[in-house]
Amino acid sequence: MDESRILRTEYSDVMQKSFIDYAMSVIVARALPDVRDGLKPVQRRVLYDMHELGVKYDRPHRKSARIVGDTMGKYHPHGDSSIYDALVVMSQDFKKGLPLIDGHGNFGNIEGDGAAAMRYTEARLQKITQEAFLADLDKDVVDFVPNFDETEKEPSVLPVKIPNLLINGSEGIAVGMATSIPPHNLGEVIDAMKAYMKDENISTRELMRYVKGPDFPTGGIVINEDELLEIYETGAGKIKIRGKVEVEKAKGGKVNLVVTEIPYTMIGANIAKFLSDVAALAESKKTMDVVDISNQSSKEGIRIVIELRKDTDVNNFTNMLYKKTKLEDTFGVNMLAIYDGKPETMGLKQILKANVDFQYEVATRKYTNLLAKELEKKEIQEGLIKACNVIDLIIEILRGSKDRNMAKACLVEGKIEGIRFKSKESKIMATQLNFTEKQANAILEMRLYKLIGLEIEALINDHEETMANIYRYEDILARRDSMAQVIMNELDEFKKQYSRPRRTVIENAQEAVYEEKKIEEMEVMLLVDRFGYAKTVDMATYERNKEAADSENKYLVKCKNTGKICIFTDTGMLHTVKVLDLPFGKFRDRGLPLDNVSNFDSTKENIVLIASQSELNLYRLIFVTNQSMMKVVDGGEFDVAKRTVAATKLADNDTVVSVAIMKEQKNIVLQTTDGYFLRFPIDEIPEKKKTAIGVRGMKMSAGAGIEAVYFTQNAVEFVIKYKNKNLVLNSIKLGKRDTKGVKVRA
């Protein structure tokens, strides 16, 4: 290896440069839109490719796979899914205020169902996309740059004639920055753009007389109108949006609350989440007003029906939906776009200024190009008219010339050497000819039928039209007012053809306030069966079914319905559950698995104690582990706000065998796996914090562990079955903590 070619450099410098290069590539060439055409590179490339393929609005649709493949092969060397996703989004009228692509087939829906595979769907350009985005590409109005392998040329920006960045909005996540621009109403944005063109010193407040605020394709209500001015001045802020609800009377005096428009942020999976959130509010008894909920949405629009009870306070219930569900949500605005090659957060006026400047630049290039073409036409037309006046001489020159070059030299420079003329007059006149190069070529290529009188008249009329065009183009290029009028006329035409009424209502609404109905506090019995299914029943129901309840359930805990349940597991964790989160009702109801309402995982841990938190606050707990570590902990330490905390500290490979509430117990009995029993007073167990491991309760043989823990009271006989024989635990000699205990034989 040639060591002279090895570049030695600081590793951190290489990393820094590489990361910055990567970040800028993502920012500029992938994730953020250009302020001029409002398009990200992938969107621009898809539209340009469709233009090149001729997939126009008045032609048949083409397979999406054909468009995606062509775009990927020519302009966008990334995954086909990103290209197809961009194509799909540009066709969805519930995401874009102005869809740019006309999709044919399943292009997804507002409820989050994805589009069909690209081999099944077809697409073509929308009419406005052709007219406002791609119309002047042949007039050298934008720069073309080489594609990734320099085999094709692609436009660096499309000559878009409307402020697309505002009309369609944009969302994208780059490196270290993100853009989030809401869609707006086409007619309003065009009016604001014209207002800026008439007065460049116009304020944002005055511009907002035209642009009232965002106009989401899903409708809805923007409720913080007073905050919009600052958002549009700075380009950042939060827009609060609500869905639109209507009240309908139903049979039997009931009321239906119907959601007819949703917040823009609810598009997709959030509709299903809204339905489940409302169902959860009913199940958790946060509201008793819901009878049924159904999604009756169709192609005609959103229709989510919530059936309510007769005596429901509809206003209070609606406010609860605004507070507890996504029916009221926030749209974070960050109007970040590529401006002059760099990412910049811009306000409304800055975006309009960038678009107006771009329109003037495009118009200047367009009319400069058109003027050049008209001047060329003028030159040729004047040459042909002049030729028609001396057509006999020209025919004589053509017949007398030996080749084309000899005839052309005579027409341009008056050279007559080698040309045979019929008369001296013709020869003299020929020397005086001085057509231009282009005129001479046009004369030599002219067909004889052009000498017909009507054709000559048409030529003169064309010349007059050309002169009028030249005068018009020169006026547009010379006077900014004339150019502004041309741009505004085009904007008016787009507004006339494509504007639609505003869908989103802008207002200042009061904050949603609702009164939670206070739950009447009552004692209930928690029942947990051996499969881990839990439910609560009122005490009267429990008393009526006491015998069945005691025999069928593994855990029975008396608690308050407003309280919490504590679940201690063998892994040393404590999981808490609100009693209200558990189903309450009939004795024979199945209940819910504890896994569903808490962080408890029945596949990884086992329950050793379930107790109510209010009871724990009154007592102390005794912990015993498999490795014979034990301690007493004040129950108040387990009054925690978190759903899951560590209840105790465990040594490696140790597990909790028993957690017991200390009440009237006097002695504790530890049983090992190899048949040793140790009985000693509970008073010998020290009180520790829950974060402590504890002290050793019993000396054990190698490989043995604590198998069971029992508690006895003085003068109360406690009998257990051990190796098919009755064993009276009180008869075991009272010993000391941290001793071996006695071996009990069968």
**Is the pLDDT reported for residue 1 higher than 60?**
no
Report the chain's mean pLDDT, rounded to a whole number. Answer: 90
> For the packed helices 64-74 and 80-89, what is the interaxial angle rounded to 10 degrees?
120
Task: List, in order, residues 6 or more apart from 200 with CB less than 8 Å away.
Answer: 353
Asked whether the beta carbons of 230 and 238 are under 8 A apart, the reply is no
- Give residue 265's identity as a one-letter amino acid code: T
pLDDT at site 2:
59
Strands 719-722 and 725-728: antiparallel
**Is the pLDDT reported for residue 409 higher than 80?**
yes
- Which residue is associated with the tokens 């206003």? 315
Greater confidence, 618 or 251? 618
**Count of alpha carbons within 13 angstroms of residue 108, beta-carbon side:** 23
Sign of CA dihedral 157, 158, 162, 168: negative
Residue tagged active-site, from 22, 120, 264, 471: 120
Cα 606 versus chain centre, distance: 40
Q: How do residues 288-342 score in pLDDT, each as one tens digit?
A: 888 889 999 888 889 999 999 888 888 889 999 999 899 999 999 999 999 998 9
Residue 375 Cα distances to 389, 411, 412, 445, 458, angstroms: 21, 21, 19, 19, 18
CA–CA distance, 139 with 540 (Å, rounded to integer): 87
CA–CA distance, 327 with 170 (Å, rounded to integer): 22
CA–CA distance, 320 with 315 (Å, rounded to integer): 9
* CATH 3.30.1360.40 domain locations along the chain: 244-326
CA–CA distance, 369 with 477 (Å, rounded to integer): 11
Q: How do residues 50-80 score in pLDDT, each as one tens digit?
A: 999 999 999 999 999 999 999 999 999 988 9
**Is the pLDDT reported for residue 746 higher than 70?**
no
Name the CATH architecture for the domain at 523-743: 6 Propeller (2.120)
Q: Which two tokens stand for residue 333?
A: 């605005």
pLDDT at site 56:
94
**Count of alpha carbons within 13 angstroms of residue 719, beta-carbon side:** 5
Greater confidence, 659 or 383? 659
What is the DSSP annotation of 10-71? -HHHHHHHHHHHHHHHHIIIIIS-BTTT---HHHHHHHHHHHHHT--TTS--EEHHHHHHHH
Q: Which two tokens stand for residue 436?
A: 């231009």
The widest CA-to-CA distance across the chain, in whole angstroms, is 155
Which whole number is the average pLDDT over 513-537?
A: 83
Percentage of the chain with pLDDT > 90? 61
Q: How many CB atoms lie within 10 A of CB 197?
A: 21
Cα 688 versus chain centre, distance: 50
Work out the pLDDT band at 28, boundaries 50, 70, 90. Answer: low
* CATH 2.120.10.90 domain locations along the chain: 523-743
Q: How many residues does the chain have?
A: 746
Q: How do residues 731-745 score in pLDDT, each as one tens digit?
A: 888 899 999 999 987
Protein fold of 244-326? Gyrase A; domain 2 (3.30.1360)
Query: DSSP code of 184?
Result: -
CA–CA distance, 128 with 495 (Å, rounded to integer): 11
Which whole number is the average pLDDT over 263-274?
A: 91
Cα 135 versus chain centre, distance: 31
* CATH 1.10.268.10 domain locations along the chain: 364-497
Burial class of residue 614 (count of CB atoms within 10 Å of its CB; 0-12, 13-18, 19+) = middle
Asked whether the beta carbons of 557 and 589 are under 8 A apart, the reply is no
Task: List, in order, residues 6 or more apart from 631 with CB less than 8 Å away.
Answer: 622, 623, 648, 685, 686, 687, 688, 692, 693, 694, 695
pLDDT at site 526:
92
Q: How do residues 571-619 score in pLDDT, each as one tens digit?
A: 999 999 999 888 887 888 888 899 988 999 988 999 999 999 999 989 9
Q: Which two tokens stand for residue 215?
A: 């106009």
CA–CA distance, 1 with 11 (Å, rounded to integer): 21
**Is the pLDDT reported for residue 716 higher than 70?**
yes
Asked whether the beta carbons of 85 and 97 are under 8 A apart, the reply is no
Would you call 120 a catalytic residue per the annotation? yes
**Among residues 500, 131, 158, 97, which one has the least CA distance to residue 359?**
158
Work out the pLDDT band at 562, boundaries 50, 70, 90. Answer: confident
Q: How do residues 422-464 score in pLDDT, each as one tens digit?
A: 778 887 788 888 888 888 888 888 877 766 766 778 888 988 9
**Is the pLDDT reported for residue 222 higher than 70?**
yes
Which whole number is the average pLDDT over 501-520?
A: 80
Q: How do residues 667-687 score in pLDDT, each as one tens digit?
A: 999 999 998 999 999 999 999
Task: List, in order, residues 6 or more apart from 314 with CB less than 8 Å away.
Answer: 247, 255, 257, 308
3-state secondary structure at position 389: helix
**Among residues 154, 737, 152, 466, which one has the least CA distance to residue 474?**
466
140 conformational bin, left if phi > 0, alpha if psi -120 to 50, beta if neither: left
CA–CA distance, 286 with 275 (Å, rounded to integer): 15
Name the CATH architecture for the domain at 364-497: Orthogonal Bundle (1.10)
**Among residues 297, 313, 258, which one has the least CA distance to residue 110?**
297
